[in-house]
């Protein structure tokens, strides 16, 4: 028994890798952490694992091994490369194109139907297998993970023998004779993953295209509740069948569907948003109350300062005036204190004028504006 990889598969892998370099990054930023273990797709799984382990992903490093797939298959697994002009010519043959259309229509029953390019690839290889069986006596099978191809024949008069075999079935068949002790663990893992695709319900897993649709809507699904993201993907699978997120018209319809979905009060997102909004309202009230208290305490403190300043501003001129009366009474001539004060009246007059100047300086502009109207009138303050 020998294994071989056909050129159309190598070409499809290259096209797929070129597309995945940009697509997986857009899909990964929409995957909530709780759903990472339920994501199908080799490249997306590798990207998420790298992102989780290192925090950053370098696309060149991630897809480096994919560019040397042909050499690695030959060196490690002894898989031969089959290339023939027939593969290019066959894609133009009406029978192959009809088979591709039949495969595509059969896949419409599934959650994720095949595209035209993928269906044409499968039809080409199934026709190649049929051709090889007619030209050579040995059995030839198309190894695939797609169980749909196991029930499709290349032509109406084909034999009842299937043209394709699932990978898990092939591993069961060749395991006892072909798998050594050193490769047993690795083959067991491949077998388990292949079997998982057949046994577990398809609805429990997510494809890259699910998250690419959310990314096309410019959502931030990674930060939404995982339950809502899961429900929204299932909702789109049911109500957005046939809509293309790259089309502006279809994208608008999808956005309308998602708007109605998340408007449902039962969504965890709606509940969390309502809780956060209530938290914001409560915090705003607390801040307003705190600001009011701080403002009141600030006004009280300012009022106390102004009162103390007003008292000091009034006491200093009074002390100056009192000192001038005493000095005038001591220096003046006369039998009585009033006579002596009258003799040196210029001293209290000068002290009174200086006191007004000192009072004005100590009280300040703000103090004058809040003073009694008589004081404001005295200093010509409106």
Give the residue carrying structure tokens 């295209």: 209
- Residue 20 and residue 120 in one domain: yes
Give the pLDDT confidence score for residue 155 in this predicted structure. 63
CB 167 within 8 A of CB 143: yes
* pLDDT per residue as tens digits for the range 275-313: 788 888 888 888 888 888 888 888 778 777 777 777 777
**Model pLDDT for residues 242-286, shown as the tens digit of each residue:** 777 778 888 888 888 888 888 777 777 677 777 788 888 888 888
Vertex 195, ends 114 and 206: CA angle to 5°?
A: 50
Boundary of a domain, candidates 192, 207, 222: 207
For residue 199, count other CB atoms closer than 10 A to its CB: 7
Question: Does position 59 have pLDDT exceeding 60, yes or no?
Answer: yes
Flag whether the pTM goes above 0.75. Answer: no
Do residues 123 and 97 make contact, with C-beta atoms less than 8 angstroms apart? yes
Whether 243 maps to a domain, the answer reads no
CA 245 vs CA 63, 104, 217, 241, 249: distances in Å: 26, 20, 8, 11, 9
Q: How many CB atoms lie within 10 A of CB 42?
A: 13
What pLDDT shows up at residue 223? 84
Residues 12 and 136 in one domain: yes
160 in the same domain as 48: yes
Number of domains in the chain: 2
Q: Is the pLDDT of residue 238 over 80?
A: yes
Domain match, 150 and 18 both: yes
Structure tokens at 78: 């002894």
Tokens of 58: 């370098």
Under 8 Å CB-to-CB from 330, ≥6 apart: which residues?
Answer: 340
Domain boundaries, position 20: 4-207
For residue 53, the model assigns a pLDDT of: 85
Do 195 and 314 belong together in one domain? Answer: no
Are residues 201 and 307 both part of a single domain? Answer: no
The pLDDT, as a whole number, for residue 314 is 75
Q: Which helix (H) or strand (E) holds 119?
A: helix 116-135
Tell whether 32 and 174 lie within a shared domain. Answer: yes
Tell whether the model's pLDDT for residue 43 goes beyond 70. yes
Residue at which a domain ends, from 207, 226, 242: 207
**The last residue of a domain, from among 207, 224, 245:** 207
**Over the chain, what is the mean pLDDT?**
79
**Confidence grade of residue 120 (pLDDT, cut at 50, 70, 90):** very high
Q: What is the pLDDT of residues 215-234, one digit of tens each?
A: 888 888 888 888 888 888 88
Report pLDDT for 176: 55
Please check whether residue 258 lies inside any domain of the structure. Answer: no
Total residue length of the chain: 382
Q: Give SS3 for 60.
A: helix
At 184 the pLDDT is: 58
Q: What element of type H or E holds 243?
A: none
325 and 192: one domain?
A: no
Contact, 190 vs 167, CB < 8 A?
yes
Look at 129-133, 198-202, 289-293, 326-330 and tell me which has the smallest mean pLDDT: 198-202
Query: Does the pLDDT of residue 66 top 70, yes or no?
Result: no
39-48, 62-71, 300-309, 368-377: least confident range: 368-377
Express each pLDDT in 93-111 by its tens digit: 999 999 999 998 888 877 6
331-363 residue pLDDT tens: 878 778 788 878 888 888 888 888 777 777 776
Give the model's pLDDT for residue 217: 83
The conformational region for residue 333 under phi > 0 = left, psi -120 to 50 = alpha, else beta, is beta
**Residue that wins the pLDDT comparison between 154 and 162:** 162
143 forms beta bridges with 165
Determine, yes or no, domain membership for 190: yes
């Amino acid at each position: 028994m020998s294994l071989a990889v056909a050129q159309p598969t190598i070409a499809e892998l290259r096209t797929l890798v070129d597309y995945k370099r940009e697509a997986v990054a857009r899909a990964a930023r929409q995957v909530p952490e709780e759903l990472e273990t339920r994501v199908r797709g080799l490249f997306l799984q590798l990207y998420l694992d790298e992102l989780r382990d290192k925090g950053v992903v370098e696309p060149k490093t991630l897809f480096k091994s994919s560019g040397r797939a042909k050499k690695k298959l030959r060196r490690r697994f002894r898989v031969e490369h089959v290339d023939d002009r027939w593969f290019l010519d066959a894609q133009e043959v009406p029978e192959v194109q009809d088979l591709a259309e039949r495969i595509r229509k059969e896949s419409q029953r599934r959650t994720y139907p095949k595209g035209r390019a993928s269906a044409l690839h499968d039809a080409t290889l199934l026709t190649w297998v049929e051709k090889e069986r007619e030209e050579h006596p040995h059995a030839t099978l198309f190894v695939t993970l797609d169980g749909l191809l196991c029930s499709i024949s290349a032509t109406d008069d084909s034999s009842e023998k299937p043209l394709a075999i699932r990978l898990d079935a092939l591993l069961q068949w060749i395991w006892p004779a072909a798998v050594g002790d050193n490769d047993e663990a690795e083959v067991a893992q491949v077998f388990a993953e292949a079997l998982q695709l057949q046994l577990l319900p398809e609805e429990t897993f997510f494809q890259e295209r699910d998250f690419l649709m959310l990314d096309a809507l410019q959502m931030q699904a990674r930060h939404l509740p995982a339950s809502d993201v899961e429900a929204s993907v299932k909702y789109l699978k049911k109500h957005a069948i046939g809509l293309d997120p790259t089309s502006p018209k279809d994208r608008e319809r999808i956005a309308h569907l998602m708007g109605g979905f998340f408007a449902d009060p039962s969504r965890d997102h709606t509940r969390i948003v309502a809780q956060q909004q209530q938290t914001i309202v409560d915090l705003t009230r607390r801040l307003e109350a705190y600001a009011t208290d701080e403002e009141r305490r600030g006004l009280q403190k300012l009022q106390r300062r102004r009162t103390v300043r007003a008292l000091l501003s009034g006491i200093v001129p009074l002390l100056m005036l009192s000192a001038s009366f005493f000095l005038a009474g001591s220096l003046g001539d006369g039998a009585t204190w009033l006579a002596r004060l009258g003799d040196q009246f210029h001293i209290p007059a000068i002290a009174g004028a200086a006191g007004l100047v000192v009072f004005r300086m100590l009280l300040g502009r703000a103090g004058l504006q809040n003073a009694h109207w008589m004081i404001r009138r005295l200093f010509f303050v409106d």
